[in-house]
Chain A
Amino acid sequence: MRRLPRKDAVIVGLGWTGAIMGHELCQAGLQVVALERGPWRDTASDFNIGTAPDELRYGIRNDLFVRPSQDCVTARNTMDQVALPIRRWGSFLPGNGVGGAGIHWNGHTWRFLPSDFNIRSHYLERYGEGIFPENHMIQDWGISYDELEPYYDKFEYLCGISGTAGNVNGQIQPGGNPFEGWRQRGYPTPPLRMQHAQNMFTKAATELGFKPFPLPSANLSQAYTNPLGVTQGPCTYCGFCERFGCANYSKSSAQTTILPVLMRHPGFEARVQCEVVRVLKSGDGKTATGVVYVDETGEEWEQPADLVILAAYQLWNVRLMLYSGIGRPYDPNSGEGVVGKNYAYQANSAVNGFFDNQLFNSWAGAGSLGITADEYNGDNFDHTGLNFVGGANINCTTFHARPISARPIPPGTPRWGSAWKKATRDNYLTTQNIGSQGSNMSYRDCYLDLDPTYKDRLGRPLLRMTFDFKPNEERMSAYVTSKMEPIMRAMGAKQIVSNPKKGPWSVVPYQTTHNTGGAIMGDNPRTSAVNKYLQVWDMPNVFVMGASAFPQNAGYNPTGTVGALTYHAADAITKQYLKNPGQPLVQA
């Protein structure tokens, strides 16, 4: 192993959070190196209109995601089962390369509800202890919405998010989400244009008493120049968004918002195809001294650094902590330990509607083109007697009609032959769904640890995921889905097919890449791995970015909150930590 010159900070992973952190630390005058296991990627070279809209390559064969032969996860539903490797990605699609999963995300950019952050105390006060499900591990976040608001704002203005505000400084705004937390100002850009389906949904839902509003989108409605001086172009609704890089510079990502500035910063360098294999610790185990990484020839390097930022995505952050012995590993039997604890996901559902005489032309869509209604999200509705915690946003989106994967046919139709062919033709343009994005609570037996059997290409144990959807999530999903059906009926569907979320969780169909927990934040080192600044309680010069910090997952996509937490952490590092390096920012 060869030793490289010391840096002020090393960032593991150059995706969404790594790029944000890189920029903030360089601005504070630090010498920063980011190590990224995947290749260099930029719009001009990699996402070109002549190659980007290729469903087979990117949507089906997964060209942009990390290859399971490089890094993968084993999975099982319960602790008494044998976990097996996810040999090809299905349920979730972890990113790889510069930009990370931010390259190929949809761009739904949400703030969580104020009550999501103190969910435990909020529900306890309103409903009493009896509302919590069996074996739950639901915790408050140790941070409030009010504390995070400025950082949500910062992330949204970095991205240029397109949307309609619902609550500006406490004033409810027409056309926005009346349930959202206060925001200091409106969105940077107006909402995207809506498709036929959204117009029908808005009409139907409004008549039923909902207050629908545009889904906040990182596919931009118009050109936008962000505070760093980087400009994005308007989205053209190409329909190759989720799972694809954007050839138009219209989807906010590290590439389109930060890297053009960061890469030219004299304090910054990136090393690509360099996978960090562990964090190095001092003799007393109390500080990190740097990281070890392997380049693509297999050679190992030591990169010493004063500050170590894990920004490798939720799964790989947790895995690196477990390998490196950072924080005490979680033990599901005793409930002790913190690293790997509270793994959660997202409990989504859908109602499909088959229509006559409507042309949805859903191939004209964008990753986050949609209308949403939040009446049944979080604690926006009375949970008395419902016997579950949590909720879901209800949405009507048009994000693609790529024909290998999106050819809805009514149940009972043959899978092949002339009858299949006719049904495929007849329903392709005339089907629409309503979806829900549901919260997922944390449980004692849903967690991450190291697999006892399966190894990666370097001989290190794979991360093992033990997870299932629990009755609480099934009840929540059934309830919210039952609220979606009347909207679909009012939209005039001739046939309706409902799919509320049900266990067992399967690794096969794509659900979401919203993996959460495992290195959760909180106000107490006994029950959380990091403090509210994402600083490791036990190792103050290590900070862990990403949704690994969520104690449980809310009824929204995570990245708005991930971005806000990253800016919040960066602010604390540059304004407080660097004055007193190596010290905890919160006293245990």
Chain B
Amino acid sequence: MSDERLSRRTLLAATTALFGLVGTADARTVTGLPYLGNEVYPPPEARPGPWLFFTADEGAAIEAIVDRLIPTDDLGPGGKEAGCAIFIDRQLAGPYGRNEGMYMQGPFPANPLPTQGYQNQLTFAEQYRRGLAGLTAHVARNFGNRKPHQLSAEEMDRLLTSMEKREANSPEFNGSALFDLIHNNTMEGFFADPIYGGNKDMMGWKLIGFPGTRYDYREVFDKLNTRYNRPPVSLLGRPEWNKAGGRT
């Protein structure tokens, strides 16, 4: 989102008609209050459809994983149905996957302190690509030459537990790092606005009782400590509104 946003801003700043002045330095000069109607740069809506980043096997592996991290159970649907894999795919195909905006200059030391945070030379997209290749090899070795998405739910839970607990780590496969990455992005997908491809029909929000982007909650203060019953709203509105033909 940032690339696009910045370049549009630059364009805007260079539009002399809006800013009233000429010359290179002055092209960035702002006087008065330049108001542009509807200039809010909504994020492009992620829609279901073919993978943009994942290969077919990678996508199948991620779908199988997100569906165990957030399983379908008596509380409702799980990560796959929520679109978490679509979410991750679209994120990796975009600025997030390229670590855009992050400081990515070296040197990258071998042993940073835990207090020094992210020090990975690879982009998130590269971490997925390599991590999933490592996972595929690990599964083939340990689960009878099968692919990750061919594991039963129970086997997948065992695999994920071993990754989380660092028991699957080897020089070729940093299972715990891959687990943390997928876990983090799956939760993002399940709870982010549905405009990004996950949290389909706001199912993540409905599960916990988050009413979304309503923006005005003054009425809540009249009835504290009571359940709020209005259905959630997202940046895309609500499915009901769309069915009524209000939006496409």
Contacts and interface: CB of A to CB of B under 8 A. Distances in A.
Interface residues of B, number: 82
A75 B75 CA distance: 44
Given A85-B105, A507-B115, A507-B116, A51 B25 contact: no
Contacts, number: 244
Given A236-B215, A238-B214, A359-B226, 13 more contacts: A45-B35, A53-B213, A60-B188, A67-B2, A77-B115, A88-B102, A88-B103, A195-B221, A240-B213, A270-B31, A296-B28, A403-B208, A417-B71
Contacts of B235: 50-51, 53-54
Contact of B43 (A57, A69, A263): A57
A61 B115 CA distance: 20
B216 interface: yes
25 contacts: A40-B12, A44-B37, A45-B35, A46-B40, A50-B40, A61-B96, A67-B102, A195-B221, A196-B225, A237-B218, A238-B214, A238-B216, A248-B215, A270-B31, A271-B25, A296-B6, A296-B10, A299-B24, A361-B220, A363-B217, A364-B220, A402-B210, A403-B208, A418-B75, A428-B208
Q: Give the top 5 A-B pairs by smallest Cβ distance, nearest first.
A: A364-B217, A67-B101, A68-B103, A403-B191, A53-B213
B119 A271 contact: no
Interface stretch (A165-173, A387-395, A419-427): A419-427
| A-side interface mostly | loop
Contact of B28 (A85, A236, A273, A506): A273
A301 B26 CA distance: 11
Interface in A353-380: 358-361, 363-364
Interface string A193-204: 111100100000
Given A62-B101, A238-B216, A274-B28, A404 B191 contact: yes
A196 to B, nearest CB: 4
A567 to B, nearest CB: 24
A578 interface: no
Nearest to B78: A421
Contact of B117 (A55, A90, A264, A428): A90
A4 B193 contact: no
Given A68-B103, A263-B31, A404 B187 contact: yes
Contacts of B218: 193, 236-237
A453 interface: yes
B128 interface: no
A271 B29 contact: yes
B171 interface: no
B40 A404 contact: no
Given A424-B207, A429-B209, A418 B73 contact: yes
Contacts of A85: 103, 105
A526 interface: no
A301 B25 contact: yes
B8 to A, nearest CB: 9
A61 B228 contact: no
Q: Chain A interface: which size bin?
A: 35 or more
Contacts of A532: none
A247 interface: yes
A87 B102 contact: yes
Given A263-B32, A273-B28, A363-B211, A76 B117 contact: no
A331 interface: no
B213 A272 contact: no
A269 B13 CA distance: 14
A340 to B, nearest CB: 20
A550 interface: no
A238 B70 CA distance: 28
Contact of A84 (B5, B109, B227): B109
Interface in B26-49: 28-37, 39-43
A76 B69 CA distance: 35
A56 B209 CA distance: 18
B103 A271 contact: no
B220 A237 contact: yes
A237 B208 contact: no
Contacts of A46: 39-40
A48 B33 contact: no
B238 interface: no
B50 interface: no
Contacts of A422: 75
Given A51-B41, A195-B221, A404 B188 contact: yes
A364 B68 CA distance: 32
Given A54-B193, A195-B224, A272-B13, A263 B33 contact: yes
A52 B218 CA distance: 18
Interface in B1-28: 1-2, 5-6, 9-10, 12-13, 24-25, 28
Interface of B: 1-2, 5-6, 9-10, 12-13, 24-25, 28-37, 39-43, 68-71, 73, 75, 95-96, 100-105, 107, 109, 112-119, 157, 160, 164, 183, 187-188, 191-193, 195-196, 204-205, 207-218, 220-221, 224-228, 235
A229 interface: no
B73 A421 contact: yes
A528 to B, nearest CB: 30
Nearest to A415: B183
Nearest to A192: B221
Contacts of B195: 54
A259 interface: yes
B68 A196 contact: no
A84 B188 contact: no
Interface string A166-196: 0000000000000000000000000001111
Contacts of A90: 117
Interface in A23-40: 39-40
A416 B103 contact: no
A401 interface: yes
Contacts of B32: 263-264
Nearest to B211: A363
- Identify the interface centre among B25, B34, B73, B119: most chain A CB within 10 Å of its CB: B25
B192 A260 contact: no
